[in-house]
Amino acid sequence: MGAAGKNWRARLVHAIHVDAASRPETQAMLSIDEMHARRVIELAMRIAESLIAVGAAANEVVLSITRVTAAWGIRPVHVDITFNSIAVSYHGGESDLPFTLIRVVRAPVPDHSKLQQLQALVAQIQAGLDLDEARIRFHVIRRTPFRYRPAVIVLAQGLLAVGVCLLFGAGWMTTLVALLAACGAALTQRWMARMHVPFFFSQAAGALVVTAFAAVTNALRVHEVPLFEGASPGIIVAAGIVLMLAGMSVVAAAQDAIDGFALTAGGRILDLALLTLGVVVGIVGGVSFAQRLGVGFPLSTDPPELGPVTMQLVGVVLIAVTVAVWNGATARTILVSALLGSIAWGGYSAAVAGGIGVALASAIGALVASFIGTLIAHRLHVPSIAVTTAAIVPMVPGSVVYRGLLGIVEAEGEAMGLILGFADLFQAAAIGLALASGASLGLVLGAPVRDTLQSVVRRRGRIR
C-alpha cells in the first residue's frame, strides 16, 4: 500500500475513533484553602436547604449549589438531593482529603417571597458578591418572617372558596357558606398544626369540617328554610376540595420526575398521595355520617355548569390571587399570578370549546400559562414556579372528586355505582396529572426560549 493509501486510512481511522493522546492525562485542580472551601460549601448548603424548604424544585437547588460554589472557585462539587436531605462532596486536590457535608431538610412550607429573595441572592453571588457579605444577607433572609399574618392567610383561604363558587355561578348563600366552611377548615388545620398533629389527619379534619357545613346547608335546603332553597352543597364541598389540594407542590413533584430526580419526585408524589387520601377520608366519612343522620347529599351524574364568562374570569383571578397570598408572594408575583391564571383559563376554555377533552384541555391551559410565565418571570424577577402554581389551581378538579366520592358512598356496594364513582376519581387523577405535566412541559420549553431571547437582547445592547 502506497503513502496515499496509508494517509487515506489514517484519516478514516481519525474520523471514526477518538485519539486517546489528544486528551490530558490528568485534570488540573486548583489549590484552594480548605477553610475557605468549607465556608463556601456550608453557605451553599444552607441556601439549598432553604430553597427546598420554601418549595423550589430539585434541579433549581442543584444549579444554585453549583453556581454559588463556582462563583468562589470551588469546583467541581458533587450534589445529591433526596426528598429530605442534601449532600455535597468536594475534593480539593490529590494531596487533600475529600469532605462531604450533609443537611436534613425540615418539613417544606411554601414561601414564595423568601424563594424570590434566595434566587436574587444566588444571582448577586454570581455577580461577584463578597463571601462574608453573602453570609450576612443569607442570615437576614433566613430570619425574615412569613410575609402575611395568620388572619390574612385564613381570609385568603376563605376567599379561595369564594372564587370557586363564582367560577360555577353559585348563589350568594352558597358562596357565604363556602367562605365560612373554608375559614373553619383553615382554622382547624392551623390549630392542629400547633398541636403537631401529622398533616394527613389535618387534611382529613379540614375536609370533615367542610362536609359538615355542606351537610347542614343541605338539611336546611331540604326543609325549605328561607334563603337556603337554591343552595348547592355540592359546590361547597367542591370548593373545600380545591382548598385542600391547592397547597400541594404538584408542579415541583412533576418537574423533579422529568428532571430525573427520582427519589425526590417519589417522596413528593407519595406525600401528595397521602395528603389527597386524607381529604378523601374526611369527605367520605362526613358524607357517610350525614347519610346516617338522614341528611343525604344530592347525587348528580352531570358536572356543575359554569357561571357567566365574567363571573368565571373574576373567580379565576380571585383563586390565583388568594393562592399567591397563601404562599407568601409579593405584590408583583400576585399580579403576574392573576394574569397567568386568566391566560390558563382562557386556554382551557378555548380547548374545551374546540371539542377537546377536559384532561387534555387542562394540560393545554397549564402549558400555555407555564410557558408564558417562564418567559416573563425572569424579566420581572418573580419565581416561575410560584406564578405557575397559582395559575393552575382554578383548573383543579374539585367537583369531579366530590362527584366520584359521593357516587362511591351512594353506591352502597352496588357494582355499577362503584364503577361510575371510580371512573370520576380516575378522571380527576387524569386531570391532575395533565395539569402537572402541562405546567412542567411549559417550564421545560420556556427556559431555552427565554435564554435565547436574553442572549439576543444582550447582543443588540453590545452592538448599540
| Tens of pLDDT, residues 393-403 | 888 877 777 77
pLDDT on residue 93: 63
| In a domain? residue 5 | no
94 with 194, same domain? no
pLDDT on residue 303: 67
86 with 202, same domain? no
Neighbours of 112 (CB within 10 A): 29
Strand segments (E) across 21-156? 77-81, 85-90, 99-104
CA distances from 421 to 283, 426, 427 (A): 14, 9, 10
Angle at 443 (CA atoms; ends 125, 111), nearest 5 degrees: 55
175 or 453, higher pLDDT? 175
367 with 309, same domain? yes
User: What's the CA gap between 345 and 349, in Å, rounded?
Assistant: 6
Kindly state the percentage of the chain with pLDDT values over 90. 23
214 with 115, same domain? no
Dmax (CA) of the chain: 106
8 Å CB contact between 178 and 239: yes
Nearest to 206 by CA among 148, 269, 158, 146: 158
| Residue 125 banded pLDDT, cuts 50, 70, 90 | very high
pLDDT tens, residue by residue, 328-378: 888 899 999 999 999 999 999 999 888 888 889 989 999 999 899 888 887
167 with 135, same domain? no
Lateral strand order in the sheet of 85-90 = 77-81, 85-90, 99-104
182 with 325, same domain? yes
pLDDT tens, residue by residue, 274-316: 888 888 888 888 888 887 887 766 656 566 778 888 999 999 9
Most confident stretch, 20-29, 341-350, 449-458: 341-350
User: What's the CA gap between 334 and 367, in Å, rounded?
Assistant: 19
First and final C-alpha spacing in the chain: 59
Comparing 101-105, 135-139, 451-455, the range with the smallest average pLDDT is 451-455
Comparing 103-107, 238-242, 363-367, the range with the smallest average pLDDT is 103-107
Neighbours of 328 (CB within 10 A): 23
Q: Which residues contact 367 (CB under 8 A, 6 or more apart)?
A: 347, 438, 439, 441, 442, 445
8 Å CB contact between 273 and 197: no
| In a domain? residue 11 | no
For residue 169, the SS3 value is coil
Nearest to 276 by CA among 238, 234, 242, 245: 245
User: What's the CA gap between 122 and 64, in Å, rounded?
Assistant: 7
244 with 272, same domain? yes
32 or 196, higher pLDDT? 196
| In a domain? residue 58 | yes
| In a domain? residue 426 | yes
8 Å CB contact between 327 and 55: yes
User: What's the CA gap between 39 and 71, in Å, rounded?
Assistant: 13
Nearest to 81 by CA among 248, 252, 255, 256: 256
pLDDT on residue 190: 92
| In a domain? residue 190 | yes
110 with 224, same domain? no
174 with 284, same domain? yes
pLDDT on residue 118: 92
Containing H/E element for 237? helix 233-246
Name the grid cell of 333. 408575583
| In a domain? residue 27 | no
Write down the mean pLDDT value for the chain: 83
pLDDT on residue 281: 86
Number of domains into which the chain is organized: 2
Determine the distance from the C-alpha atom of residue 429 to the mean position of all C-alpha atoms in its chain, rounded to a whole number: 16
329 with 266, same domain? yes
Nearest to 406 by CA among 394, 420, 427, 393: 420
User: What's the CA gap between 454 and 446, in Å, rounded?
Assistant: 12
Which residues pair with residue 99 across a beta bridge? 90
User: What's the CA gap between 310 and 195, in Å, rounded?
Assistant: 42
Nearest to 334 by CA among 344, 346, 319: 319
User: What's the CA gap between 399 and 167, in Å, rounded?
Assistant: 11
pLDDT on residue 269: 82
139 with 234, same domain? no
127 or 27, higher pLDDT? 127
Which amino acid, 376? I
463 or 307, higher pLDDT? 307
For residue 69, the SS3 value is helix
pLDDT at 214 over 80: yes
Which residues pair with residue 79 across a beta bridge? 88
Residue 155: domain span: 150-454
157 with 113, same domain? no
Which amino acid, 69? T
Nearest to 297 by CA among 359, 225, 221: 221
pLDDT at 199 over 70: yes
Which residues pair with residue 102 across a beta bridge? 87
User: Could you say which DSSP state residue 77 is in?
Assistant: E
User: Could you say which DSSP state residue 267 is in?
Assistant: H
Neighbours of 305 (CB within 10 A): 7
| In a domain? residue 39 | yes
Residue 192 CB-half CA count within 13 A: 17
| Residue 47 banded pLDDT, cuts 50, 70, 90 | very high
Q: Please say which residue of 143, 167, 194 terminates a domain.
A: 143
| In a domain? residue 180 | yes
Q: Which residues contact 332 (CB under 8 A, 6 or more apart)?
A: 380, 381, 382
Q: Please say which residue of 118, 143, 168 terminates a domain.
A: 143
Q: Please say which residue of 115, 143, 171 terminates a domain.
A: 143
